[in-house]
Structure formats: structure tokens, C-alpha cells
């Protein structure tokens, strides 16, 4: 029986944050569960801090709402703190927190873990002992430190939207134009912000793109964001094909919302230039249409909150056979690319790289509602705030990354 300070592992629970938790830590927590069962037939339950009171014996992962949790500011640092009947596993970044859980996994092979096994470590040092073919590692990240956009990673876009409203011919709702403007992109407090503004004839928002500075194929992309709230506000982290003039091109929308922040939509599109001999021009198929609305993520009803009320993680896991979307650390919708009838998805998502875009604007021409955000919503919730964007990959011989500024271990 695995033990912590003499207590059997089956007397413990794993506690994870209900909000803003990473899929990377979820993977490692599930490994702990499997180890406990395989070695001790112990059911090591994973619970969420928002829905459970503190119990006597806990393994607390990340920035949970629990006494004794210490937030770490150094992105590279992880800590394993064994303190009596409590174990705290945390790091200064999602990948460092995942490393704390993974290193604790190794400790469990001892006869008994004690307070003396507490450790402060470095992610970059510890990661050298892990097989990159089997373990995701960060390869391109932006934590939005400093006071301006990192121009080795992104371009700031300054142009009118090309999407036209079919009734008005304009790019925005209500007889206005919708613009991307550099002045509406603000980096502050360690976050990217697309600020929503308007005047008599225009709506303004902000967009940054990697374009030729970075493109990739396969891996796990995760962002932590606080969503805007107001009818007509639009935002997303999205990706589309980096290779021009392909017959079938991909698009991935990770956390798209249109006006409200009651839910965020994940979607994958394929955009054929022609489907069959009779059809010409552009058409598309939508993952959302295939899944009949299941690709929306919303908070449980008992939370009594929406996605505007705090930061939440959103991600996409992508390989040659599979696409899955995550929110707050858990997969909530997925697609097997080998499923019959998805041949165009398979072709699009195995034959090309994609580039990243962060974008938010009000009054967007394709937004399904007219722009009716209240003055309070403009003032209080009129921005799309992103804490980080991380790309993780396996060294599997299939994943690709072309970037000016890679994350170096």
C-alpha cells in the first residue's frame, strides 16, 4: 500500500482547481489515479475545490482554494510540499505544475513519503529526464509579459474587416464599420487585451497574428482567458492553414463567443475550394454541425457565474487521427478523424500546418446578433483578456514547428 507520512494512499483525495486548470495537470493526476489502483487497489478520487470542503488528507494540485496553498511566480519553478496529511503540488506555470505532479508520481514508489521529501525544483532541469516522444513539452509560448506585443511572435493587424454584412454592405452592424486597430491592442498586467470601443460610424477591436513568424502541425494548444460580455462582442483564439492554395484548408476555433459569455464554442472547419464536379467556389463543413451543438462549453448551473467572471483555460489537442477540445483542464468534445464521412477533415488536418490568431472586436459583420451591448457592458466587460498562449508538442517525428522564437529548454 502506497503511503504518505504513514497514511495509506486510499485515505487521500486529489484536489484540483475547478476554474482555470490545465489539461497538462489533468493528465498527470489521472496517472496518479492509475498508479494508486494498480499498486494498492486504491480509488484515489479527483475532486474540485469549488464543490468540496477541505478534508483531513489531501493532495492539492495548483492554485486551489485551500489553506496553505502558495502561489509561485517563477514560471520555471515547481514545488512538492509534504506537510503532515497535506501534500501541495504547484508551479509557476501550467507546465511546471504538471511537473510537480509528475515528480510526485516518482516519489510514490518509495515505501513511505514523508515531509523530508519536500522539494523545490526547476522544470527545465527535471524535463531532461523525460522522454520527449511520450511527454508534451512547451515549444512556443507567450505569457504577455512587458508592455507591448512581442514582435518576434506576432504581427499587430491594422485593417478593415473584409467580411461584409449582406444587407448594408458594411463590415459592422448598425450601419457602422468594424476595424482592427493597433491602439485597441494593450499588453498590461501580464495579459493581452483586445479593447472594444466605438464612435458614431465605427466599431474598433484588436487582432494579432503569427502569420509567417510561426506555424505548426499537431500538439496541444492552451490559452487562459477572460471573455467579454455584451451583445455584438466577438472573440476567439483561432488557427487557419499556413499553406496557401490548398484544395482543402483547415480552421480551428478554440474559444469563440458571440456577444454573451454564458458559453464558449469550439469548432473545426474544412474549407474546400470545390466539392464535386458541379460545385465551384468556397464551401465549408463544420465540426459544430456534426456534433449538434455539443461543442459548446459552459459552467455548471450551480456556479451562478459566466465565463466573464474569471479566467478559464481553453485548449485543442490535435494529432493525425484526432481533434479534441478542452476547457478548465477537461476534454468536453472530440472527433476521430478516421470516422467514416470525415475524409475531407482527415485530409485538411493531416496535410497542412496552421498559424495562430488572437482577435476580439465589437459589431462584427458575421455576429448573429445586432450590436445592443449596454453602456455598463461596454465599460465593465468590453475587452477580451488573455493571460497566456502555449503550444506543447511531442517529439514524434510527425509534429512540426516553424518559428522565429522557440521556447528553449
Q: Which residues contact 376 (CB under 8 A, 6 or more apart)?
A: none
On whether both 157 and 106 belong to a single domain, the answer is no
- What DSSP designation does 382 have? -
pLDDT category at 279 given cuts 50, 70, 90 is: low
Same domain, 315 and 353: yes
Checking if the pLDDT of 161 tops 70, the result is no
Do 340 and 220 share a domain, yes or no?
yes
**Residues 204 and 210 sit within 8 Å (Cβ to Cβ):** no
- Tens-digit pLDDT profile for residues 219-260: 999 999 999 999 889 999 999 998 776 778 899 999 999 888
> Any idea what DSSP says for residue 114?
-
In angstroms, rounded to a whole number, what is the distance separating the alpha carbons of residues 61 and 216? 30
pLDDT, residue 68, reads: 96
State the helix-helix crossing angle for 23-40 and 94-107, rounded to 10 degrees. Answer: 10
The total of other beta-carbon atoms located within 10 Å of residue 34's CB is: 12
Q: What is the pLDDT of residue 273?
A: 64
| Rounded percentage of the chain residues whose pLDDT exceeds 90 | 72
pTM of whole model > 0.75? yes
Residue where a domain terminates, one of 112, 129, 146: 129
CATH number for the domain that contains residue 60: 3.30.379.10
Do 324 and 284 have their domain in common? Answer: yes
C-alpha cell at 371: 450590436
Alpha carbons 362 and 370: distance in angstroms, whole number: 10
Quick one: 39 and 146 in the same domain?
A: no
Tens-digit pLDDT profile for residues 251-261: 999 999 988 89
| 156 part of a folded domain | yes
Spatial separation of the C-alpha atoms in residues 250 and 240, rounded to whole Å: 6
Is 408 within the bounds of a domain? no
Mark whether 156 and 245 lie in a shared domain: yes
Query: Taken in order 394, 135, 298, 21, is the CA torsion positive or negative?
Result: negative
The CATH number of residue 218's host domain is 2.60.120.200
Measured CA to CA in angstroms, residue 342 lies from 244, 246, 280, 287, 345 at distances of 22, 18, 20, 10, 5
Residue span of the structural domain in which 185 resides: 137-403
CA distance 232 to 369: 6
Q: Please answer whether residues 252 and 239 qualify as being in contact, where contact means their C-beta atoms are separated by less than 8 angstroms.
A: yes
Residue 213 domain-assigned (yes or no): yes
Domain termination residue (choose one: 104, 129, 154): 129
Are residues 197 and 100 both part of a single domain? no
Give a yes or no: residue 409 inside a domain: no
Number of domain units in the chain: 2
Amino acid at each position: 500500500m502506497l503511503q504518505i507520512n504513514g497514511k495509506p494512499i486510499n485515505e487521500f483525495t486529489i484536489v484540483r482547481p475547478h476554474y482555470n486548470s490545465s489539461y497538462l495537470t489533468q493528465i498527470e493526476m489521472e496517472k496518479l489515479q492509475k498508479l494508486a489502483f494498480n499498486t494498492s487497489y486504491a480509488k484515489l478520487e479527483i475532486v474540485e475545490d469549488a464543490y468540496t470542503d477541505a478534508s483531513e488528507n489531501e493532495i492539492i494540485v495548483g492554485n486551489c482554494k485551500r489553506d496553505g496553498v502558495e502561489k509561485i511566480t517563477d514560471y520555471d519553478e515547481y514545488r512538492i510540499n509534504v506537510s503532515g496529511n497535506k501534500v501541495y503540488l504547484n508551479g509557476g506555470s501550467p507546465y511546471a505544475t504538471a511537473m510537480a505532479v509528475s515528480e510526485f508520481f516518482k516519489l510514490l514508489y518509495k515505501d513511505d513519503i514523508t515531509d523530508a521529501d519536500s522539494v523545490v525544483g526547476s522544470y527545465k532541469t527535471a524535463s531532461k529526464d523525460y522522454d520527449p516522444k511520450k511527454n508534451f513539452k512547451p515549444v512556443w509560448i507567450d505569457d504577455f509579459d512587458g508592455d507591448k506585443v512581442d514582435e518576434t511572435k506576432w504581427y499587430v493587424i491594422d485593417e478593415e474587416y473584409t467580411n461584409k454584412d449582406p444587407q448594408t454592405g458594411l463590415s459592422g452592424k448598425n450601419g457602422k464599420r468594424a476595424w482592427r486597430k493597433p491602439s485597441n491592442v494593450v499588453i498590461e498586467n501580464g495579459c493581452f487585451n483586445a479593447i472594444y470601443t466605438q464612435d458614431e460610424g465605427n466599431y474598433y477591436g484588436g487582432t494579432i497574428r503569427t502569420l509567417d513568424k510561426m506555424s505548426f502541425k499537431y500538439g496541444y494548444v492552451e490559452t487562459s482567458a477572460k471573455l467579454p460580455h455584451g451583445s455584438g462582442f466577438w472573440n476567439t483564439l483561432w488557427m487557419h492553414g499556413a499553406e496557401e492554395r490548398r484544395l482543402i484548408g483547415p480552421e480551428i476555433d478554440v474559444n469563440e463567443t458571440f456577444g454573451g459569455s454564458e458559453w464558449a464554442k469550439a469548432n473545426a472547419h474544412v474549407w474546400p475550394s470545390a466539392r464535386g464536379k458541379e460545385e465551384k467556389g468556397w464551401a465549408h463543413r463544420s465540426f459544430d454541425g456534426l456534433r449538434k451543438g455539443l461543442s459548446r462549453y459552459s459552467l455548471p448551473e450551480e456556479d451562478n457565474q459566466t465565463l466573464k467572471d474569471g479566467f478559464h483555460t481553453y485548449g485543442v489537442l490535435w494529432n493525425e487521427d484526432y481533434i479534441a477540445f478542452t476547457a478548465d483542464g477537461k476534454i468536453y468534445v472530440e472527433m476521430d478523424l478516421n470516422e467514416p464521412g470525415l475524409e475531407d477533415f482527415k485530409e485538411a488536418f493531416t496535410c497542412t500546418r496552421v498559424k495562430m490568431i488572437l482577435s476580439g472586436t465589437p459589431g462584427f459583420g458575421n455576429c448573429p446578433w445586432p450590436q445592443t451591448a449596454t453602456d455598463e457592458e461596454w465599460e465593465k466587460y468590453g475587452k477580451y483578456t488573455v493571460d497566456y498562449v502555449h503550444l506543447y508538442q511531442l517529439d514524434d517525428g510527425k509534429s512540426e514547428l516553424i518559428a522565429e522564437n522557440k521556447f528553449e529548454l
